[in-house]
Each structure stands twice: as structure tokens, then as C-alpha cells.
Amino acid sequence: MEERFRIKERLQVARSEAGISQAELSRRVAARGAKSLTGVRISYLELGYRDATNEEAAQIARALDVSPEWLLGASDSKERAGAPQARPTTAARSELPSSPKPVAPAQVQFVSSPPVTPQVNATIERPPDPLDPPTTIPQRNGGSASEYRRQLAAEMQRANERLGDRALTPAQWRGWKEYAQRIRSEIVRIRV
């Protein structure tokens, strides 16, 4: 019987440090051959609803470039065992002092500095995820009613196909469900 592990906290930390969504992590893991780790499964692991197997943890760790031991909580080092270490270049090594000079205790002064507040740039925009639903439904824009109904039917079919996509996160699924409901209400509205 395979052991199961709670990787909730460390998975959240590693994914947020990598700056990727759950759906993107799912795509990366699937590209490495683990089709069973869908966006929903990764969401369940992060929320603590499910436990990860050794194999799942190893696949996620490879996709996030962290050590599986760290992800499982067995180690405090995120570095992968075979990961290359950053080394100074030849020019940088020549500038490094050969040995540190000792400092007498009387020469050390502690200076308090003002607290550093992080600068957050609110204008950073991430590219839209192709799995995210549109924010607005199509408008008629003066075309015929039959053409508009065909356009809405095509959007309804697209929404229904996305609702069956297993790579969607729960938030994306709810977004597509709401989008489909708005299209349905628009179809009913134009029939009246």
C-alpha cells in the first residue's frame, strides 16, 4: 500500500513562488506524463481535501523544480539533489576577498534603519489564461436576430465544452457556469 502525504502548505508555497496557476501546474505535470493530476486534483491537494501519493508528489516537485523531500516535509531544503548550484563567474571570483578580515568587537556598531516597505506595482498584468471564461457575452450590434441567436448558440456550445474540461480549476469552472447562465438568459430575453 502506497503512503499518502499532506503537501498542502508546501505545494501552495512552491506554486506561488513559481508564479503559476493551478491550471498551469496541471499542464506542466501533464506534459511530463502525469495525466491524472488535473487542475481539480491539484486544487484538492492545496486545500487539504486529498493526500498526495509518493509518485504524485515527485511529479509535482519536478514540475515546480523543488525537491520531493521538501514537498513531503521530510527536508527543509528546497534545492533538488541534482540541481546545479549558482557559482560566481571567473571575473566575480577574482573580485572576492581571499579571506575575511577579522573585526574587533569594539569596531562593530549596530545601526537601526527605517523599516522597508515593499513596493507593489499594481499595473502588472498577467496574460489571460486560455481556460478563463470571457467577461462579457456577445452583443447583437445591429445584426439580424437569427444571426445573433446562432452566435449565442455557438457560445453556449463553447461554454458546455469548457464545463467538461478536466483541466479547469474550481474557480474557472464556476466562471464558465456563470457565463453559460448569462448566455441562456440572453437567449430567453431575445425570444420574448
CATH code of the domain containing 31: 1.10.260.40
Q: What's the number of domains the chain is made of?
A: 2
Please say which residue of 22, 41, 72 terminates a domain. Answer: 72
Task: Give 118's pLDDT tier (boundaries 50, 70, 90).
Answer: low
Cα separation values, 137 from 37, 40, 134, 178, Å? 31, 26, 7, 11
Asked whether residue 133 is domain-assigned, the answer is no
Which residues, other chains included, contact 41 with Cβ-Cβ below 8 Å and sequence gap of 6+? 26, 50
**Which structural domain range is residue 156 located in?**
145-191
Asked whether residue 156 is domain-assigned, the answer is yes
pLDDT in the model for residue 70: 85
Q: Which range has the worst mean pLDDT, 38-42, 126-130, 184-188?
A: 126-130
Mean pLDDT of the chain: 75
State pTM to two decimals. Answer: 0.41
Interval 72-113: pLDDT, tens: 877 766 665 444 344 444 444 445 455 555 555 555 555 565
